[in-house]
Chains A and B, each alone.
Chain A
Amino acid sequence: MKALDDVSFSIEQGEVILIVGSSGSGKSTLLNMIGLLDSPTNGDIFIDEINTTALNDNQISSFRNKKLGFIFQFSNLLSDLSVLENILLPIQIAGTNSTTEKDAIDLLKSVGLEDQMHKRANKISGGQAQRVAIARGLINKPSIVLADEPTGNLDSVTSEIIVDLMKSMAKKLNQTFIIVTHDRKHFGNVDKVITIKDGKAFQGEEPSTMEITV
């Protein structure tokens, strides 16, 4: 059985894309493939006109670091590091000086957590941790930010805050977000909705709308 079959769609810079679908429909698999955390058994994934399936492990790591930002369901901050250090981690992995600590603090201000920057990551609330994860996902100015069920572990009030934050950051930074969720209602209006059903992708809320090919 194929988790994803003949999935093809394009995304424009600065768009917020929602990938929806029922549990087990293959939406997380799709996100993992776009994020180069998983590879397709057949076919290619092009990001920024680069065929990512042809990259070796080191190149994939560099690509993930420079071109992609990740927001996970459980925020996945490193508990050994402070909030600020978590945000700086992708820069340190990249080993570049193009982004400074000041940029990280500015991002923290954007997500409203500048007063928490020296706290250990495991000492902040779930909602705060997810905001830190958003800042971490944005620090390297990636081409795409991939969010896998970013509100899946949050209550509805906090979920609204996180969704609003992602949308405002997308607008402010002209940043592309691809968000996977099974809970459509928190997200309101977005630029595009892709529905995954039985491993196939359809643009729009219903499978009957339109199939996207590029």
Chain B
Amino acid sequence: MKLAKRMLFNKRGSLYGAILAVTIGILVIHVNFVIFQGLYDAIVRDITEYRNGDVRVTDEDDYIDKSDSSIISWFERISYVEAAAPRLSSTAEMEITKNGKLIEKTRIPVVGVDPFKDIRASTVHETVTEGTYVFSRNSIVLGNTVANDLGGAVVGDNVKVMIIDRWGEEQTKRFTVSGIAKSPGGQGFDYSAVMHIDTLRDMTDRTDQTGSIMVKLNDPSKAFEVKEFFLLSFPNGDFLAETIEESAEQQLAGFRSGIAMINMIGYFGMMSSAFAVVTIQMMLVNGKTREIGVMRAIGAKRKDILIIFIFQGMLIGAIGAGVGTATGLGYTFYAKETKMSFNNSLPLEVTYNLEKIIQTALASFILAIIASLYPSYRATKLLPVEAMRSG
């Protein structure tokens, strides 16, 4: 083993090359994970925080008829639940006039919120970059894109909103813009307008109805239990309750396939590094042909030679896995601490996935050993006299 170590460490160029190959293989996996899993988790985070909550309750008939207050009170009695808030959605036509002149007209989605409950259950209010969140029944928050579409609406502007109510009648109301919302990556209500839920109920004539209830948990891992408990507690209702994975399934399914493909590419990268290890190990064997011949001549068995080079593969794998994992963790740490994002898009949700880290390190270690098998086998096939002569 000492000899194997010396033989490897005295060939520093080859050693560094092999370690670098393994390190790069691991780093590719870590970088892929940080970026793509981070992006996926960031989307899940934003959908959870802005729209669906950890658990989302809807009704088979599109609207919940039961009092939202009683459902919210029921939820907030569960220790895992931090807060719950009602939401109602519709579509509106909006126009802005300045000095009696129509500036712009656009059709947008509108969301009704209970401002007092919503700031506990959601972080949409934090996306209001100018002005304030909805504070009264005739105030409205415009998404950044909507404000732009309206010719650059600003806080304090007056907008006219037209909504078709449940009976097909057009309802019109004037609002004062209280705030402009802009979220990193546009996952918030950048393309919508947010108003008081009671105002939207009045305009749509759905006075006692709610579109959905978003439930925020203090322990998101209990989402399934909370959902099941809710459905068990309201067996006769037409309620639908979904965890974030279920409610955002459509948005996330495609992304998941993308991540699987990226992971595949990462593993192909790791395979390439294994081929680099094969090449470097072959160089090591060729560079040590004379030594192999001498060892065979003085009594080393084929098995001994095999062990020397496999041990070298293990050393390369272990050091490479260590350096690669450390580098990968360094990158992950950097991404997490700097709240990494690309082109001011949504900040990545960076997590340390211990299972994935160990799996990657172990896979590269095993690959380095496998990559050493063929060169080691070649080394055992050298004949002592020939090897001493050619070396």
Shortest CB-to-CB span from B297 to chain A, Å, is: 5
Interface size range of chain A in the complex:
20 to 34
B385 CB contacts on chain A under 8 angstroms:
32, 37-38
A79 CA / B7 CA spacing, docked (Å): 9
Distance of A66 Cα from B299 Cα, bound (Å): 8
Stretch at the interface among A8-16, A57-65, A184-192: A57-65
Q: Mark B296-325, 1 if CB is under 8 A from A, else 0.
A: 111111111000000000000000000000
Mark A89-100 against chain B: 1 for CB-CB distance below 8 A, else 0: 110011000000
- Select which of B7, B290, B298 is within 8 A of A65 by beta carbon: B298
Does B6 count as interface, using CB distance less than 8 angstroms? yes
Check A72 for interface membership: any CB of B closer than 8 A: yes
CA of A168 to CA of B315, assembled, Å? 44
CA distance A28 to B388 in the complex (A): 14
Question: Which residues of chain A come closer than 8 Å to B301, judged between CB atoms?
Answer: 57-58, 61-62
Tell me which of A38, A61, A72 contacts B299 (CB under 8 A).
A61
**Contact pick for A93, options B2, B6, B10, B300, CB 8 Å:** B300
Complex CA gap A38/B384 in Å reads 9
Shortest C-beta distance, B388 to chain A (Å), equals 6
A76 CB contacts on chain B under 8 angstroms: 290, 293-294, 297, 388
Residues of chain B within 8 A (CB-CB) of A78 are: 3, 291, 294-295
A80 to B5, CA, bound (A): 9
Nearest chain A residue, comparing its CB with the CB of B384 = A37
Residue of B with least CB distance to A62: B299
Residue of B nearest to A94 (CB): B299
Contact, CB under 8 Å: A64 / B298: yes
Contacts of A89 in B (CB 8 A): 3, 295, 298
| A64 and B299 in contact, given A37-B385, A38-B385 (Cβ under 8 angstroms) | yes
Tally of A-B residue pairs with Cβ under 8 A? 63
CA distance A57 to B299 in the complex (A): 10
Assuming A32-B385, A37-B384, A93-B304, is B298 touching A80 (CB within 8 A)?
A: no
Partner of A61, one of B3, B7, B291, B300: B300
Residues of B near A65 (CB, < 8 A) are: 298-300
A105-161 interface (Cβ within 8 A of B)? 136
A77-B391 Cα distance, complex, nearest whole Å: 12
Report chain B residues within 8 Å CB of A199. none
**Interface core residue of B290, B297, B299 (most chain A CB under 10 Å):** B299
Interface status of A177 (Cβ within 8 A of chain B): no
Report the separation of the CA atoms of residues A72 and B194 in the bound assembly, to the nearest whole angstrom. 90
Q: How far is the CA of A28 from the CA of B280 in the complex (A)?
A: 34
**Contacts A61-B296, A93-B295 given; does A80 touch B290 at CB 8 Å:** no
Closest residue of chain A to B6, judged by CB?
A: A80
A157 to B320, CA, bound (A): 50
A27–B10 CA distance with the chains assembled, in angstroms:
36
Interface residue ranges, B against A (CB under 8 Å)? 2-3, 6-7, 10, 290-291, 293-304, 384-385, 388
27 contacts between A and B (CB under 8 A): A32-B385, A37-B384, A37-B385, A57-B302, A58-B302, A61-B299, A61-B300, A61-B302, A64-B298, A65-B298, A70-B298, A72-B294, A72-B297, A72-B388, A76-B290, A76-B293, A76-B294, A78-B294, A78-B295, A79-B10, A80-B3, A81-B3, A81-B6, A85-B2, A90-B298, A93-B304, A136-B298
Q: Known contacts A32-B385, A93-B298, A93-B299; can you find 7 more A-B pairs with CB under 8 A?
A: A37-B385, A62-B301, A70-B298, A72-B294, A76-B297, A80-B3, A80-B291
